[in-house]
């Protein structure tokens, strides 16, 4: 074994081999050295443990080190093709930004700016002022404040309005969102005392009113996101809660989640309430995300009564949750698209409202393109199929959007559609598909400009691979 260990080449020799030298400029000599040292240590350990057969040690070292160098020399955060048909796909980054939003982020990111500066007065300005007016204009709120995301918006609002006080919330709304945002935990973090009332499927106005004490500060309504109860369900309306809160001088706060600003042009049984409707219905504070139905960057908005927002603005926690300048620039530009009535150009809204005929044409084009690339060279067949697409991001969980896609099936039994989907994910720009009834489905609704070319590229490499 010692002979084997001694046969491992010296670092200096390795650094001079051609397969290493191509990474020196992307990673620097020091970094390359460290990556190779880690690889060699791992191999030494495996040899000592007897876990490795070492027929060709040099080949093994080259293979392992190259794999690590290749991975680490590329950007880790990179674009993918979303062919899942889920528009607000949380794992794939929710909403792609509108051109105007991107341009604004690039300009502000590469220059000094009026971030906290009033250019006319030559004085200190406020970061929040860049979007507050537009938000008020678009929601009917008296005041608004932006933070890092909606989870932060809920946390900050509760911290400012209910620390050491009681917050009354329906048992049916103690939901977990996205695997880590849990209403009871957020309440605990904020220092508020949670008082859950009613039952999972039914909470009446009396459940709320009977729970009110001198210690109560907030009545909280939470959008149940992608969670639904079927059958006998009774919840209390916004108007009733607003009325009750007013009678007892309490704050009625609503965590809306999605942040719909304008009603969507879709035919759904279920209705998502817009922020404006919530404010009009009596919510004193509404919190929502910037990167869900609104279609902007990741941000959290707190909109509502001026007195309450002023209180929240003065809370120390705000400093830890504040928004970055590029995000703010992208958000302001997105809001301006709403202000001038061009919101249907925002990518996620365009995708959600896309006409069925347009989707069919898109699917037919993609199908033709893929058939042409593959000809008869591989045992794959392509067909246009109807699909069930989703809005995602916790909005409209029970309604599906009727769409189209291209189904790929393998005639050859030896190749499974799982392998095919994995090969598409391994492309230079990964293509993320879905699998249905032993076929790989590429949903066209969520494809962006140029994605057809990227899919073709992935397919071309796939069919020429050994
Ligand atoms: C999505 C969502 C959140 C979390 O928002 P983030 O912007 O992801 O932090 C909180 N509450 C509701 C109701 C949601 O739908």
Residue from 362, 352, 348, 364 nearest 390 by CA:
352
- The model's pLDDT over 156-189, given as tens digits with 9 standing for 90+, comes to 999 999 999 999 999 999 989 877 889 999 999 9
Mean pLDDT within 317-338: 98
pLDDT band at 412 (very low <50, low <70, confident <90, very high): confident
Mean pLDDT within 243-268: 94
pLDDT at 466: 64
From the CA of 223, how far away is ligand 1's center (Å)? 9
Tokens of 314: 């003065």
Mean pLDDT within 208-237: 92
Q: Is 1 exposed, middle or buried (0-12, 13-18, 19+ CB in 10 A)?
A: exposed
pLDDT band at 376 (very low <50, low <70, confident <90, very high): confident
Residue with the smallest CA separation from ligand 1 atom 7 is 150
pTM of the model: 0.93
Pairing between strand 143-147 and 380-392? unpaired
Mean pLDDT within 212-241: 91
Pairing between strand 434-436 and 86-88? unpaired
Residue with the smallest CA separation from ligand 1 atom 15 is 257
Residue with the smallest CA separation from ligand 1 atom 11 is 257
CA 61 to chain centre: 38
Residue with the smallest CA separation from ligand 1 atom 1 is 257
pLDDT at 229: 81
pLDDT at 290: 98
Confirm or reject: Cβ of 257 under 6 Å from ligand 1: yes
pLDDT at 402: 96
How many Cα atoms within 13 Å fall on the side-chain side of residue 293? 24
The values of phi and psi at residue 245, to 5°, are -60, -40
Confirm or reject: Cβ of 150 under 6 Å from ligand 1: yes
Is residue 410's pLDDT more than 90?
A: no
pLDDT band at 379 (very low <50, low <70, confident <90, very high): confident
Instruction: For ligand 1, pick from 221, 275, 289 the residue to mutate: most ligand atoms within 8 Å of CB.
Output: 289
Question: What is the overall mean pLDDT for the chain?
Answer: 93
Mean pLDDT within 82-92: 96
Is residue 289's pLDDT more than 70?
A: yes
- The model's pLDDT over 427-442, given as tens digits with 9 standing for 90+, comes to 999 999 999 989 999 9
The b-or-e profile of 265-299 (16+ CB within 10 A means b, else e) is eeeeeeebbbbbbbbebbbbbbbbbbbbbbbbbbb
pLDDT band at 378 (very low <50, low <70, confident <90, very high): confident
pLDDT band at 52 (very low <50, low <70, confident <90, very high): confident
The residue ranking higher by pLDDT, 205 or 267, is 205
pLDDT at 56: 81
Mean pLDDT within 325-345: 98
């Amino acid at each position: 074994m010692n002979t084997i260990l001694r046969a491992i080449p010296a670092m200096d020799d390795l650094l001079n081999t051609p397969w290493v030298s191509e990474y020196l400029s992307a990673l620097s000599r020091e970094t390359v050295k460290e990556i190779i040292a880690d690889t060699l240590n791992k191999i030494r350990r495996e040899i000592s443990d007897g876990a490795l057969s070492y027929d060709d040690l040099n080949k093994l070292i080259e293979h392992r080190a190259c794999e690590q160098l290749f991975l680490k020399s590329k950007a880790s955060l990179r674009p993918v093709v979303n062919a899942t048909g889920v528009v607000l796909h949380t794992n794939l980054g929710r909403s792609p930004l509108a051109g105007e939003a991107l341009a604004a982020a690039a300009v502000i990111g590469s220059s000094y700016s009026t971030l906290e500066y009033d250019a006319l007065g030559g004085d200190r300005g406020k970061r929040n002022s860049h979007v507050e007016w537009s938000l008020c204009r678009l929601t009917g709120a008296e005041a608004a404040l932006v933070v890092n995301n909606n989870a932060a918006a809920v946390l900050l609002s509760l911290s400012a309005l209910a620390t050491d006080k009681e917050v009354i919330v329906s048992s049916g709304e103690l939901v977990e969102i996205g695997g880590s945002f849990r209403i009871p935990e957020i309440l605990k973090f904020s220092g508020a005392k949670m008082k859950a009332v009613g039952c999972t499927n039914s909470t009446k106005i009396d459940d709320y009113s009977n729970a009110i004490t001198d210690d109560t500060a907030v009545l909280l309504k939470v959008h149940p996101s992608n969670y639904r109860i079927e059958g006998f369900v009774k919840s209390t309306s916004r108007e009733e809660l607003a009325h009750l809160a007013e009678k007892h001088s309490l704050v009625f706060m609503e965590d809306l989640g999605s942040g719909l600003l304008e009603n969507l042009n879709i035919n759904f049984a279920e209705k998502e309430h817009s922020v404006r409707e919530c404010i009009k219905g009596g919510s004193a504070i509404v919190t929502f995300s910037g990167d869900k139905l609104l279609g902007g960057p990741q941000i959290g908005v707190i909109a509502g009564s001026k007195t309450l927002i002023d209180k929240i603005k003065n809370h120390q926690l705000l400093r830890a949750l504040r928004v970055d300048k590029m995000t703010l620039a992208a958000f302001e530009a997105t809001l301006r698209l709403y202000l001038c009535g061009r919101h249907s150009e925002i990518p996620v809204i365009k995708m959600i409202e896309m006409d069925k005929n347009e989707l069919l044409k898109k699917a037919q084009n993609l199908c033709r393109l893929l058939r042409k690339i593959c000809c008869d060279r591989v045992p794959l067949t392509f067909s246009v199929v109807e699909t069930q697409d989703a809005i995602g991001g916790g909005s409209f969980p029970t309604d599906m959007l009727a769409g189209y896609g291209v189904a790929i099936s393998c005639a050859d039994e030896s190749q499974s559609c799982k392998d095919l989907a994995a090969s598409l994910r391994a492309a230079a720009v990964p293509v993320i598909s879905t699998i249905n009834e032993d076929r790989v489905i590429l949903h066209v609704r969520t494809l962006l400009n140029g994605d057809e070319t990227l899919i073709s590229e992935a397919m071309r490499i796939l069919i020429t691979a050994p």
